[in-house]
Amino acid sequence: MSLEFVLNHPIWDYLVVPYLLVLWMGYGYFSKYMAKRTYCLASILSIHRVWWMQRMLLRENRVADSALLANLERNVNFFASTTMIIIAALLTALTSAWQWQFMQQYEGPVSNQYKVLLLLVIMVYAFFSFTWSLRQYGFGSVLMGAAPDPEQDEFNATQRKEYAYSTAKVLDQAAHSFNYGLRAYYYALASIAWFIHPLIFIGATTWVVVVLYRREFKSKPVKVMAMDVDILKESTNLKP
């Protein structure tokens, strides 16, 4: 059995999509599990959001807080708009008669239309994630606008902490949805390698998971932000 026969075996084309789904969903569950047991970007920022909302309730002028939230929404809106453009381009490619002959060095059993369809599905998922993130940031804006003033006597200290925690959790969920959309972009970039060879696609998908893990759990921002997280957790006096 020659190496060329093994590399060009049709079975690789049928394994790449299940492999992508297993790694995508597997890493998603793994990251949620590890976030409850160790510091990562998601768990640290969740604590910082609670602290942010508690400090916001102490301020009479909340223009800076509104500007920060608007900036977050603009970032998500940029990706949502870009995703729509990509979806339109993929639909055009999917319905085009052009077969991308310059990418046909590897001729497997799966046509380019199915590969474009995979990219289209990933982008649709990313669009839904980004738009849901936008809606949740909108919910957070409403909660921030309805937040009690510092001198308002109807809310005691415990109720203020609970309100800050609830608002922070809404923003937290919005950030998670944005993160899911960004992950979809990473996997879409890996999927482009399928046009070259399915084994390159498998390698690129594995590399994406490694990059995601290192950035979310082992990057320098995680180490820096974790320095004061214990102090913030004590100050919030609320379980994340």
Integer Cα distance of 187 and 207 in angstroms: 10
pLDDT of amino acid 102: 47
Is 179 domain-assigned?
yes
* DSSP letters spanning 31-46: HHHHHTTS--HHHHHH
Is 135 domain-assigned?
yes
Is 99 domain-assigned?
yes
* 237 vs 228, more confident: 228
> For 133-170, how does the pLDDT look when each residue is reduced to its tens digit (9 = 90+)?
999 999 999 999 888 888 777 778 788 889 999 999 99
pLDDT of amino acid 238: 47
Is 211 domain-assigned?
yes
pLDDT of amino acid 109: 59
Number of domains in the chain: 1
pTM for the predicted model, two decimal places? 0.86
Is 62 domain-assigned?
yes
Predicted confidence band at 14 (pLDDT cuts at 50, 70, 90)? confident
Q: Residue 96 belongs to what domain range?
A: 45-236
Is 15 domain-assigned?
no
Is 16 domain-assigned?
no
Is 29 domain-assigned?
no
Of the given ranges (26-40, 111-125, 159-173, 220-234), which has the lowest mean pLDDT? 220-234
Q: Is residue 53 over pLDDT 50?
A: yes
